[in-house]
Structure 1
Amino acid sequence: MNPLYILMLSLHGLIRGHDLELGRDADTGGQTLYVVELARALGRHDDVERVDLLTRLIDDPQLSADYAQEEEILGPGARLVRLPFGPRRYLRKEVFWNHLDLLVDRIVHYLRQQARLPDVIHSHYADAGYVGTQLSQLLGIPLIHTGHSLGRCKRQRLLAHGRKPLALERQFNFARRIAAEETILANAQLIIASTPQETQEQYGLYENYQPGRALVIPPGTDTSRFAPPGKAPLAAEVPGMLDRFLTEPRKPLILAICRPEVRKNLLRLVEAYGNSDELRQRANLAIIAGQRDDLRDLDEDQAKVLTDLLLAVDRFDLWGKVALPKRHRPEDIPQFYRLAAQRHGVFANPALTEPFGLTLIEAAASGLPIVATADGGPRDIIANCNNGILIDPLDSNDIARGLLEVLGDARAWRRRAQHGLSGVSHHYTWDAHVAKYLKAVRRLARKERKQIRRELAAHLHPGPATSLPFVQRMLVSDIDNTLIGDRHSLTRLIEVLRTSGRQLGFAVATGRSLESTLSILRQWRVPRPDALITSVGSEIHYGRTMLPDNGWIRHIRHRWRRDALADLLTGIPGLILQQPENQREFKLSYLVDPASMPPLRALYKLLQGEGLHANLIYSHQAYLDVLPIRASKGQAVRYLAYKWGLPLRNFLVAGDSGNDAEMLVGDTLGVVVANHSPELQKFRGLEQIYFASNRHAAGILEGMAHYGFIVTEGART
């Protein structure tokens, strides 16, 4: 098998290859570190040629200029690629969903510039999964997905914690996120989870979850950064960062490191500590909860978590016993673990939900025993490493019990510390993770090759869902009376397309609905095109999966008021609404009596007077289609040119009637077949519209030869 090209998508938060700002906000946490280290580990492997970790380009004066760099090398074989989408400023993940369709187009542009397409796409979290699903269907590339956290689980826990449903929806956009997760699970060929509990109890909440597609691979950790006190030095300045808060700094240290989120359950940790006289006498508590200069500058949720912590410290009079530093450097994190281990302390993770718990692995690699929530990853980590205690995160007394159990027995403390070190070495290295990961990818690739062979045997269109990433020129043809009408010439055209290689793409543009289009193409034995422009240009679909172009849908929705238009046109002389099967979300279709229908200019004036906007397509002196102002066959062709990075002069468009007019004019190369309707006569003599002397597909072949798209004998016969 050839070395792999892996495209990873991780869109939110702040990602760079050095000095990760972990804990800066709710979006910059363990996932950020995971994807960077995974990309580096994959890039080092001999079976991987290249890893692109793609994220959002952020040009924000309040942030480092690092996040505005288009590319950054992560290590051998791995690089970070940043593409802009949405506003230039930094956005939290819940508010950039509306910009994700634009990112799909940007990635398509990016991939067209590469020497090869990725072998797999690996998306991280629901936002990237939404993008990855579209790319996978569009390009025919297998999708791997890692959820990191799941919307249904997070929503359930927050509701149990007393949050109101409407407030949660406003803040977290759960409806959209959960719908995206269902779509991802229906389409991803492989789901990578960190624990069996994640696959069974978390993904199991989703209707589209398929257990056979799930694979448990525990994340690795960079043991070169995390080591016990005896094997790595402790920076001189680190103890002072915590000790300045503490009256008796030499006591054992209870350490928590996480973002200031409600889900992390820090308030209950402080309450467990404050309510236990024995715990307060035995140990100090240090909470490393992100970065802050001024609480008032944080977002509302982070500010509330930290304010509640400070109020709890005051309520229990824990001054001199609790350290809550405002700032730290990324390189200080391993030092905090090492300091807590040196003082025979314990690492605490009482999160309400914990899909994995990377900090638990880091603590174990530092020789620090752990106390963690009995949810998700901690169950497996403690089972594998035998280095800590599971607690009920909703019971502050149980949290205190677990902490005291670890701190109260010096011999057991040393045993747990040693078990943690050996457990990490055996179960949680990146080399072990990558070996299992690549084995699954190879198996996935073999399955894809078998599918392609089956399609070839069945004479189906094989390979990617579309050849568009490779296309340099594109034939776009109307169907009725242009592409079809003469079987002999259509057979010759199909053979030309079949033998022209992937650089010549093929699309149809028709007034038919998608269902009708697929039916007529089957009847005439036309291979499924790379792209289908249907319903007079109001819909675009791709390849064998019939993926709708969501970017096009969003584009043409502008000023579209379908019901108001239908009401206004009811009763207009000469207009008779066609059957329901001819009506679409973005198309109203009428039969026309030319003798009584008002002129088009009068209809436009009528719309204008009512503040309505539409594109009126009149064809064959018999039909009127009412479309969004931005929709038509011509606009759709121009959108394809933009999306796939092709100059308009590389498009040859063929038609026979008035609803083809807009795609024939402009910078495209136009072909009008000999059996055209009278409304196209006005274009005769225009430089870039060729009127063929042959009918139907023979006229298309003649036009292709005229423009140099092909050189074929008999094209003019």
Structure 2
Amino acid sequence: MFVCHIALQGCLTLTDVPYGITADTGGHIKYLLELAETSALDPEIDRIDIVTRGFEDSAFSDEFAPGSGEIRGDIRLVRLADGYEGYLTKEELHEQHEALCKAFLDYLKSCPKLPDIIHAHYADAGVLARAAFEELGIPYVFTAHSLGAVKRQANGTTSAELERRIEIEERVLEKASGIISSSRDEAEAQYAHYSKIESGRIRVIPPGCDLERFKNAPVSDKVRSDVARFLCDLEKPIILAIARPVRKKNLVALVEAYAAHSELRERANLVIVAGCRSQLSELEQECREVIEELIAAVETHDLYGHVAYPKSHEPSDIPAYYALARESGGVFVNPALNEPFGLTLLEAAASHLPVVATDSGGPNDIIERCKNGVLVRPTDRSAIADACFSIMTDRRSWIRYASAGGDAASAYDWQAHCRIYHRLLNDLVSPLQKVPSWGRLLVCDIDNTLLGDREALREFLRWQTENSENIALGIATGRSFHSAQAILAAEGVPNPDVIISGVGTAIHWYDRERRYFVEDEAWKAGLARDWDHERVHDVATRLNLRSQALLEQKVGKASFFTGELSTDEIRAAFDKEGLAVEIIASHGRYLDILPRGGGKQAAVVHAAARLGLTQSRVVVAGDSGNDRSMLVACPHPVIVGNWSDGLGEDPALSHAFVASKTHAAGVLEGVRHYQAAGSW
């Protein structure tokens, strides 16, 4: 497969990238290069071209000139000439769209073979990818890295420039065959601002990270010296932030938060590594303004001797900064207004340094997966300071978060990323598959049912492959659609034929012609018709139910944590208010409130009807309380051996087959039981 990447922003080279030399030479380039390097190891990938914009500018070396491409193994860098010699910031690239499209199409036509697929990074690159799709029919996938609509929401204001960027993003999204997001927040919350994208075209594939150099990194004399120049007492714990000096990174708010917390000022130092600069006048305007505001805040609050902001650093210094903060018993802080992914959080995790991170964006996934710190609202300065103080003054918490971070390297691996990424690319370019005529439907829960035992899963997948022409595979889960898709892909499960997500509040069908999942609009409309969000949450508030995260709240589903009240007491409170709802409790912790008649069972009935199947042709499998409704209603239920929430002893489930085996092996045991009995 020939993959062509487009990345127009910043100063891109295949080796020794000058990170921080401009505001646009940042994390997206590191992401792209590490993706390409790992991707090239796959024997199925025979060529990778990276296309960028060439320029000749006296402020930079001549290595960025058009046509001066580099080659590294199977990876080739191509620099386009667009007729303008100078460097362009991301805000200026739109001026050259037409010329860049022409140059890109000329490059494609000069290739001995057209790329099988194009991968565009940022919206300006997407403009070129869409032009190639429209003229040459080459499909493209898109990675936004950051989105204009999210910036507009975070700032609370807009501008003509920002609206133009959002319009460009909409045009790129409209024709993209697939959109790769780094986190569930990006997929479900950030892309919700855009009208030209269906949920099924978005795939959550967390980027891999090369974190080896952060493990057990020593503190260098250089870094210690650079910080010591600013601080009166180097023995205090360090609150560390590493970010480009742009407004969305919220660095000035961190200084203000530190200044306003007297105990924190007394007990800790603040170290901010904000890019490189020789003279302020040489920085781009936004970077210069942020640095000036940062210095002004230090002066206003008389923080000299307590705050360090080194002028420059080498890439090799960064692990030493994390090590210095770890050695001091400090924390790492990412206070960004929105963070699409959060690479620095993983670097801190691999360095065994606890983190305090924004609750907007990718950090939600990282903290949930690595459990190496806490989330805070980035606009709540007191919460930022309180979180830092709490971790640094509670030694048990500090040790717990520091120890948990060591799992980050295995959780975010480039090879795992590329296995999922290449499977997606193959889905998009392979010949169209014939839609089978299924006679039966198997619906499984994910967590602790289909997943949980990898060896058993492999056996199940062998069976499923052999029977895929006769038996449709469905998923029914409490996870969101994108979370379900991501965890299934991570475990090597091929695209199911239907995914019922959010405890039955969404149904997505895999469309083999369009090569992505399509939401069942009839089901969606029915849920919306019977749902009164405000009244449901009003009753829940009066019952003192604690809400789960905003991402868990959907049309047709309000999600909370179980409290002291029983489900019968909660149901009675809703009945008293005249609200007909289903109360679903699971795993002794989670509580979902759905419209009466909703849930997994109703969704399974709807899915079977769409396939023209009666319930006698359906087998369902589950393990916990949120599977109960579909298990009770189905004539062929399977309860896996590792059941919870009393399922295996429930009189209402006396007709169920209770497997002796656990997880996927239990599912197969149940399926074979019904097949042997001749009832399915």
TM-score range, shorter chain: 0.5 to 0.7
Q: Distance in 2 between the 1:447 and 1:306 partners?
A: 53
- Which residue in 1 is equivalent to 2:93? 96
Larger CA Rg, structure 1 vs 2 = 1
Amino acid at match of 2:417: H
The percentage of counterpart residues that share the same residue type is 42
Q: Distance in 2 between the 1:201 and 1:227 partners?
A: 33
Q: How does 1:144-183 map to 2 (within 5 A)?
A: 144-159=141-156, 163=157, 165=158, 168-169=159-160, 173-183=161-171
Q: Distance in 2 between the 1:86 and 1:388 partners?
A: 49
Structure 1, gaps ≥5 residues long: 452-717
Stretches (4+) displaced over 6 A: none
- Which residue in 2 is equivalent to 1:313? 298
Question: In the alignment, is the contact (CA less than 8 A) between 2:2 and 2:45 conserved in 1?
Answer: yes
Question: In the alignment, is the contact (CA less than 8 A) between 1:57 and 1:69 conserved in 2?
Answer: yes
Residue 326 of structure 1 and its aligned partner are, at CA, apart by: 1.0
Q: Distance in 2 between the 1:24 and 1:158 partners?
A: 25
Amino acid at match of 2:193: L
The 1:447/1:211 distance shift into structure 2, 3 A limit, reads: farther
Q: Select 1:435's aligned residue among 412, 419, 423.
A: 419
Question: In the alignment, is the contact (CA less than 8 A) between 2:240 and 2:271 conserved in 1?
Answer: yes
The 1:372/1:74 distance shift into structure 2, 3 A limit, reads: farther
Q: How does 1:256-405 map to 2 (within 5 A)?
A: 256-405=241-390
The 1:363/1:447 distance shift into structure 2, 3 A limit, reads: farther
- Partner-residue secondary structure (3-state), 2:214: coil
The 1:179/1:346 distance shift into structure 2, 3 A limit, reads: same
Q: Distance in 1 between the 2:120 and 2:434 partners?
A: 24
Amino acid at match of 1:192: I
- Which residue in 2 is equivalent to 1:608? none
Q: Select 1:190's aligned residue among 175, 178, 182.
A: 178
Q: Distance in 2 between the 1:47 and 1:335 partners?
A: 38
Q: Select 2:428's aligned residue among 444, 451, 463.
A: 444
Q: CA RMSD in A?
A: 1.8
- Which residue in 2 is equivalent to 1:29? 26
Q: Distance in 2 between the 1:253 and 1:267 partners?
A: 17
Q: How does 1:643-662 map to 2 (within 5 A)?
A: none
Q: Distance in 1 between the 2:6 and 2:418 partners?
A: 17
Residue 217 of structure 1 and its aligned partner are, at CA, apart by: 0.5
1:80 equivalent in alignment to 2:82: no
Residue 71 of structure 1 and its aligned partner are, at CA, apart by: 4.8
Q: Distance in 2 between the 1:275 and 1:380 partners?
A: 30
Question: In the alignment, is the contact (CA less than 8 A) between 2:281 and 2:288 conserved in 1?
Answer: yes
Q: Distance in 1 between the 2:268 and 2:71 partners?
A: 40
1:13 equivalent in alignment to 2:10: yes
Amino acid at match of 1:412: S
Question: In the alignment, is the contact (CA less than 8 A) between 1:227 and 1:338 conserved in 2?
Answer: no
- Which residue in 1 is equivalent to 2:548? none
1:49 equivalent in alignment to 2:37: no
Q: Distance in 2 between the 1:315 and 1:178 partners?
A: 37
Amino acid at match of 1:214: I
* 1:130-171 CA-partner distances (Å, limit 9, x unpaired): 111111221111110011111111112122xxx5x4xx32xx
* 1:74-129 CA-partner distances (Å, limit 9, x unpaired): 64322322112242111111112121221222122222332211111000111111
Residue 370 of structure 1 and its aligned partner are, at CA, apart by: 1.0
Residue 45 of structure 1 and its aligned partner are, at CA, apart by: 2.1
Q: Select 1:200's aligned residue among 188, 193, 196.
A: 188
Residue 395 of structure 1 and its aligned partner are, at CA, apart by: 1.0
Q: Distance in 2 between the 1:349 and 1:180 partners?
A: 29
Q: Distance in 2 between the 1:18 and 1:246 partners?
A: 35
* 1:290-341 CA-partner distances (Å, limit 9, x unpaired): 1212222323222211111111101111111111111111222222222222
- Which residue in 1 is equivalent to 2:207? 219
Amino acid at match of 1:66: E
Amino acid at match of 1:304: E
- Partner-residue secondary structure (3-state), 1:406: helix
1:140 equivalent in alignment to 2:137: yes
1:412 equivalent in alignment to 2:400: no
Residue 36 of structure 1 and its aligned partner are, at CA, apart by: 1.5
Q: Distance in 2 between the 1:182 and 1:350 partners?
A: 28
The 1:75/1:335 distance shift into structure 2, 3 A limit, reads: farther
TM-score normalised by L of structure 2: 0.62
- Partner-residue secondary structure (3-state), 2:50: strand
Q: Distance in 1 between the 2:275 and 2:142 partners?
A: 27
The 1:266/1:446 distance shift into structure 2, 3 A limit, reads: same
Q: Distance in 2 between the 1:130 and 1:69 partners?
A: 20
- Partner-residue secondary structure (3-state), 1:311: helix
Question: In the alignment, is the contact (CA less than 8 A) between 2:240 and 2:270 conserved in 1?
Answer: yes
- Which residue in 2 is equivalent to 1:111? 108
Q: Distance in 2 between the 1:219 and 1:150 partners?
A: 17
Amino acid at match of 1:182: E
Structure 2, gaps ≥5 residues long: 436-680
Q: Distance in 2 between the 1:340 and 1:44 partners?
A: 36
How many residues of Structure 1 are paired with residues of Structure 2 in the alignment? 435
